[in-house]
Amino acid sequence: MLYPIVTFIGAGNMASAIFKGLIKQGHPADRIRVSNRSQGKLDALKQEFPTLHVSTNNAEAVADADVVVLAVKPQMMEDMLKPLTTEVAGFDQKLFVSVAAGISIARLQSMLNGAKRIVRTMPNTPSLIGLGMTGLFAQIDTSDADKNLADSLMAAVGKTAWVSQEAEINQVIAAAGSSPAYFFMFMNAMQKSLEGMGMDSQTARKLVEQAAIGSSQLAAHQSDKTLTELTQQVTSKGGTTAQAVATFENGDLAGLVDQAMQACVARAEEMEKLL
């Protein structure tokens, strides 16, 4: 099988989670190019993957790309793309996969001089270990071949879900792109509580980590049960869990989570207007 040449512009947190994940899944490193503004990250990558093509020159990195993954911060996208539209022959004919929050396809199209082959995605950092969750959206006139190529890249590092309305990508951000941070915060709060009770941090981290892994795996294995049913399975009447659950309910955990998710979506919508 001949793997497509994939160029990542930006070698930050999200891009590196995806391309390292791809390499782990068998995509040959010599068919991946990574360009980044500063040299330091590239030097480290070259050490880790000697056959990876790295460059601080975006135009050079995209020249032979089949797919260009746009992975710079949203605020930097326009300045990053502008020179490429004139410097790189046939640039607007390539397939672009954007991972950026808050930049619509219409906006990308205008930044890309009218390019037509664009898939907007919202991945997350667990892609690094093959457990990513990516939402994808493409306009109606995007070819199946382009959709399949974008899907296969993201499916190599986790699960994928297509949304039929572009606005839903902002909900994917709340559910998957940003949500690893929520889970880490929850785990961290548990760890800190245990430490406050006197437990050493290593043991506290191990307990929290394994309980989180076990719970998420159990939910995935028993997807026929609702999350409320899974909660009830743990909660003995008059027992310990009931006290913790009541504390969360009294503090309106669900309301707070809803507020956080809404704030996330609202910020994505606001970014779409600003950028």
Ligand X SMILES: NC(=O)C1=CN([C@@H]2O[C@H](COP(=O)(O)OP(=O)(O)OC[C@H]3O[C@@H](n4cnc5c(N)ncnc54)[C@H](OP(=O)(O)O)[C@@H]3O)[C@@H](O)[C@H]2O)C=CC1
Ligand Y SMILES: O=C(O)[C@@H]1CCC=N1
Bind-site residues for NADP(+)? 9-14, 71-74
How many CA atoms lie less than 13 Å away from 150 in the CB half-sphere?
A: 28
Shortest distance, position 14 Cβ to ligand Y, whole Å: 7
| Binds ligand Y by CB under 6 A, chosen from 81, 104, 177, 208 | 177
Which range in 135-143, 144-152, 161-169, 171-179 contacts ligand Y by CB under 6 A? 171-179
- Verify binding: residue 173, ligand Y, rule CB under 6 A: yes
254 Cβ contact list (under 8 Å, min separation 6): none
- Verify binding: residue 73, ligand X, rule CB under 6 A: yes
Shortest distance, position 91 Cβ to ligand X, whole Å: 14
Strand partners, 224: none
Nearer Cβ to ligand X, position 21 or 177? 177
CB 153 within 8 A of CB 32: no
Q: What's CA 218's distance to the chain center, in Å?
A: 23
Which residues define the annotated binding site? 9-14, 58, 71-74
Q: What's CA 256's distance to the chain center, in Å?
A: 23
Shortest distance, position 157 Cβ to ligand X, whole Å: 12
- Verify binding: residue 172, ligand Y, rule CB under 6 A: no
Report the candidate in 94, 88, 97, 93 with the shortest Cα–Cα distance to residue 14.
Answer: 97
Where on the phi/psi map is residue 198: left (φ > 0), alpha (ψ -120 to 50), or beta? left
- Verify binding: residue 16, ligand Y, rule CB under 6 A: no
CA dihedral for 192, 247, 252, 178, sign (positive or negative): positive
CB 174 within 8 A of CB 163: no
Which range in 85-93, 138-146, 173-181, 220-228 contacts ligand Y by CB under 6 A? 173-181
- Verify binding: residue 265, ligand Y, rule CB under 6 A: no
- Per CB under 6 A, residues contacting ligand Y are 101, 173, 177-178
Contacts with ligand X, residue ranges (CB under 6 A) = 9-15, 35-38, 41, 58, 71-74, 76, 80, 99-101, 122-125, 177
